[in-house]
Amino acid sequence: MSCKAFIFDLDGVLTDTARYHYLAWKQLADQFGFHFDEKDNERLKGVSRIRSFEIILEINGAENRFTEEEKEKWANEKNQKYVELIRAITPDDVLPGVQAFLDDAKSRGIKLAVASASRNAPQVLESLKIADKFDYIADAGKVSKTKPDPEVFLVCRDALGLKSEECIGFEDAQAGIEAIHAAGMYAVGINVDVTSEEPDLHLKSTAELNVDRVLAAAGQA
Ligand code: B16
Ligand code: MG
């Protein structure tokens, strides 16, 4: 079976918004006197907005401090700070090697899609000026279950009219690698902080992205 599509996570694969997520959560955590550092932030990668807040509460033994409604309210407040911060994103923020990789894949007829847990994905892609390179964009607004559930990758696969074996997923987060595998796809990890499931091909950074290398590793050259 030949590869017909590449499906990309956004944050940490196409651009690095983890820093902005961190700064926005840090501001909220400080407001409550909660501990939250960059190591803790690793646990929020690929995880939904509300689940991210719950993890911060768990780290601080404060699981029961807020009602569901209050959690929504504070998560929304974090999002407002995040939206302000990502206004600064420009095409220079596309990670190294990504533009060339997308263009090379496209010129070979490989379909491109985005499978992001972020509701802000469309805005970030517009700011990066790469939105029009993708045949399909699935953000958290289009799915009901977040990674490690495979839904967002399956939504992309179905929208492209393909089979799982014809798709290769790219992720920087442990939850994302699990989601790609659960979708029955080959997983390329970019600088993944592996705590359980290993990607099939592990790259240190996006600068190592190369279409021939990826297809050869997936046995599809
Ligand atoms: P938002 P990805 C994820 O994006 C981020 O990695 C994760 O840290 C964030 O909590 C999640 O999006 C939700 O983002 O609050 O903007 O909806 O890596 O799946 O592209
Ligand atoms: Mg990510």
What are the pLDDT digits (tens) for 117-140?
899 999 999 999 999 999 999 988
Buried b (16+ CB within 10 A) or exposed e, 98-112: bbebbeebbeeebbb
Query: Are 171 and 159 in the same domain?
Result: yes
Interval between CA 172 and ligand 2 midpoint (Å) = 5
Describe the crossing of helices 49-59 and 18-31 by its angle, rounded to 10 degrees.
50
Segments in 32-90 forming alpha helices (H): 38-42, 49-59, 68-85
Residue 47 three-state SS: coil
We report the CATH number of the domain holding residue 160 as: 3.40.50.1000
pLDDT tens for 60-118 read 999 999 999 999 999 999 999 999 999 999 999 999 999 999 999 999 999 999 999 89
Note if 11 is an active site residue.
yes
pLDDT tens for 133-181 read 999 999 888 888 888 999 999 999 999 999 999 999 999 999 999 999 9
Q: Which ligand is nearest to the CA of 141?
A: 1
Specify the residue for token string 């920087």: 172
Report the domain count for the chain.
2
- What is the domain extent for residue 59? 18-88
pTM of this structure: 0.92
Over the chain, what is the mean pLDDT? 95
pLDDT tens for 23-48 read 999 999 999 999 999 999 988 988 88
Query: Are 23 and 111 in the same domain?
Result: no
Ligand 1: residues whose CB is within 6 Å?
9-12, 21, 44-49, 52, 79, 116-120, 140, 173
Query: Are 104 and 211 in the same domain?
Result: yes
